[in-house]
Amino acid sequence: MVGTSDGRRLMSDINVTPLVDVMLVLLIIFMVTAPMMMEGVEVNLPQTKTKSIKTQEDPLVLSVTKKGEIFLENHSVKLEDLGTKIETIFKYRKEKEVLLKADKEIAYGFVVKVMAEVKRAGVTKLGMVTEPMD
């Protein structure tokens, strides 16, 4: 048996306590920083008095800018390709939820066209994102 000169045995076990400590610190850091990360594109949202939306899964964020540009999360998409892209994204998802962030200065007709494409892609829940009134 291997030991030291004073008769004690050497321990060959791995000490996992420092590893667990580091993992817990990383978990806390990610939990704190995740809500701070913004998704989508910056748009000037209309202000209304509404309740917050509660969802089961992370919904897809669809943004429409003042210039008529459409973004799925942070990726630019043309109106013609929007339906097929959404169908592909929701192919294996149970809940098909989209949050629409449209700039308040964009034409209503264009927003309706975007909404029609989203509904045509099979989305069951479409939410409109607004800012709370002061």
Tens-of-pLDDT digits for all 134 residues of the chain? 455 667 777 777 778 888 899 999 999 888 887 766 655 556 665 666 666 655 556 778 889 998 889 998 888 999 999 889 888 888 887 778 888 888 888 888 898 899 889 888 888 788 888 777 66
Strands 97-102 and 125-128, by their bridges, are parallel
CB-based contacts of 94, cutoff 8 Å, min separation 6:
57
Q: What is the CATH number of domain 47-132?
A: 3.30.420.270
Would you state the pLDDT for residue 98?
87
Task: Name the DSSP letter for residue 15.
Answer: -
Contact 68, 81 (CB under 8 A): no
Which pTM was predicted? 0.58
Position 57 scores a pLDDT of 61
What pLDDT, on the 0 to 100 scale, is given for residue 4? 63
d(CA 11, CA 125): 59
Beta strands in the chain (DSSP E): 47-48, 60-64, 70-72, 75-77, 97-102, 125-128, 131-132
- Number of alpha carbons in the 13 Å side-chain half-sphere of residue 65: 14
Q: How many CB atoms lie under 10 A from the CB of residue 12?
A: 6
